[in-house]
Amino acid sequence: MKFSNVNNITELLKYRVPSQSANVIKDISNQANLLEQRLYLVGGSPRDIFLAKKITDLDFAIDGDPINLANSLPNKLHAKLIAKSQFGTIKLQLHNHTIDVARTRNETYAKPGALPTVSNSSIEEDLARRDFSINSIAVSLSNPDWGNILDPYGGRKDLDNRLIRILHPGSFNDDPTRIFRAIRYEQRLGFTIEKKTKKALLESIEFIHSISGERLRSEFRYIFDEPLVLDILERGRFLPILTAIHLGFQSFNTKEIHEALRTMPKYYVNHFDQVHNLIYLAFLAYYLTPEESVQFIKKLSMPKSWKQIVRDTISVRSIIPEITRINLKESSLFKYLRGHCYEAILANRLLTKSECAKKRLDKFIKVLQYMKPELSGFELQKMGVPNGPLIGQLLSEIMVQKLDGLIKSKKEEVKLIENATNPKGLSFDIDHRSGGPESGI
């Protein structure tokens, strides 16, 4: 199908949009018509309908107040207003869908990287403010031209030619986050950044420094959520977008990561889907020096969870020589790795060149991290150990001897405590069966 020849999308909606999504479109357009307000399907929705992609978002633009539209929806639809933004956009829950409804608006930018100043406008001006031509297509959801396509910037033609193209030369200067969106769409859709758009992108890379840490972090989060995250990061390294953030990313090696993921043991393949996608943050951090990692944390204004992943990745990498020492006790291995987050340990397991390190990280991930004393602190108190630091010290000693294979049962744990706290060898009234309360270590 040649998209540029399609002028009305009604037929495509019938077989490319799931029934629940179609009901959302029908109900909200009916209500807008009753209010005599023009409503449009905009953003990625028309693009994905053309491309027969899964519809994950429904975005609408209205030439009136979105809140009035939300409040006027019949009670039987059980619509719920979730949020509203300073830019005149609301989030609405309808038929188990979260949808965005925005006032048609114009945007101006005081300087690169700044948030826009908005004002009400026509749908034509609204489309002119958008990032790329393929996202500047609108579908009328109002009578009498329901389903008609508005495409003033040739978005359908660019869909035919599989191109990512900006609407005007200053687009990336206005909003440098579009640089990241360009490479995300390019890789996700299998498109190519159009020649003049690529030139404008390269000329605007310097404006990445004007993006706030929070917004920059959001762009990384969007990348980490993409199916082809490594392809996007590699494109970002090549252009060079990543090195504009920090020169340390010159050494970022997606080929090495691809190979590590391709050859990783079945155990990790079976569990990889359960790993948080911030594993890719750990992959990025792995190639930085400690000093560069500090700067990266600052650049993205990272929250505590992100900071821990970056710092732990560098920390684990730095102790690889220690955990590969000959005759290293398992208790020492446990002490080295305990407290480091899983993403950091896994990233090092997959990327280290040391076979010894791989085996020992495997042992920690699969076995050691789950080991704990069978005796609990409460049981130690019943045995007469006073509440306080001594309990923690004794539990730690149990853990050390258990890890090193010196004790293997709850009975032996009790004997250890007896010897440590009761030189006369008096016995304690304690249940020797396994499976007692967890120690909390």
Q: What is the CA radius of gyration of the chain?
A: 29
- Among 156, 107, 102, smallest CA distance to 134 is for 156
Q: Looking at 133-142, 153-162, 308-317, 368-377, which range is the least confident one?
A: 368-377
Residue 168 pLDDT greater than 90, yes or no: yes
Q: Tens of pLDDT along 291-303? A: 999 999 999 999 9
Q: What is the pLDDT of residue 433?
A: 42
Element (H, E) at 89: strand 89-94
Residue type at position 293: S
81-95: average pLDDT? 81
Residue 264 pLDDT greater than 80, yes or no: yes
Q: What is the pLDDT of residue 209?
A: 93
Residue 87 pLDDT greater than 80, yes or no: no
Q: Tens of pLDDT along 178-200? A: 999 999 999 999 999 999 999 99
Q: What is the pLDDT of residue 89?
A: 84
Q: What is the pLDDT of residue 439?
A: 35
Q: Looking at 42-56, 107-121, 153-167, 426-440, which range is the least confident one?
A: 426-440
Residue 162 pLDDT greater than 70, yes or no: yes
> Does the N-terminal peptide bond of residue 169 adopt cis geometry, omega within 30 degrees of 0?
no
Q: Work out whether strand 97-103 and strand 59-62 pair parallel, antiparallel, or are unpaired.
A: parallel
In the chain, the percentage of residues whose pLDDT exceeds 70 is: 93
Q: What is the pLDDT of residue 427?
A: 43
